[in-house]
Amino acid sequence: MSEELPEKMVELPEKTRAFLAGLRPDELKTLEAIIEMPAEDVREGFRMVRDMRAVGKFMRWLLLSMIALFVGSIMLYENIQKAIGYLKGGPTP
């Protein structure tokens, strides 16, 4: 770390200073924009991101469940056909 730290930076814990020192310029711009926004807007933004992630997880599991149901129904249909064929005596040579 630099020897010329502002007074406010000195008061911060070492972990926080290391985090802030490691930010890229675009991350700093985002952080500055968030600081200027009203607190309620920031909270709503974080809630929206959290809700979108939850919906994304739900949609992923819904899609996987539908694919599994489709594949499972095809396998069940084939095995039912095999069982019916076996009960009827099967193909004769």
Q: From the centroid of its chain, how far is CA 73?
A: 29
Q: What is the pLDDT of residue 3?
A: 58
pLDDT in tens, 44-77: 999 999 999 999 999 999 999 999 999 999 999 9
Q: Please state the domain count of the chain.
A: 2
Distances (CA, A) of 58 to 48, 54, 66: 15, 6, 12
Q: Are residues 78 and 64 in the same domain?
A: yes
Q: Are residues 31 and 60 in the same domain?
A: no
* Selected residue with higher pLDDT from 40 and 6: 40
Structural domain harbouring 4: 1-36
Q: Are residues 47 and 27 in the same domain?
A: no
Read off the pTM.
0.56
Q: Are residues 83 and 64 in the same domain?
A: yes
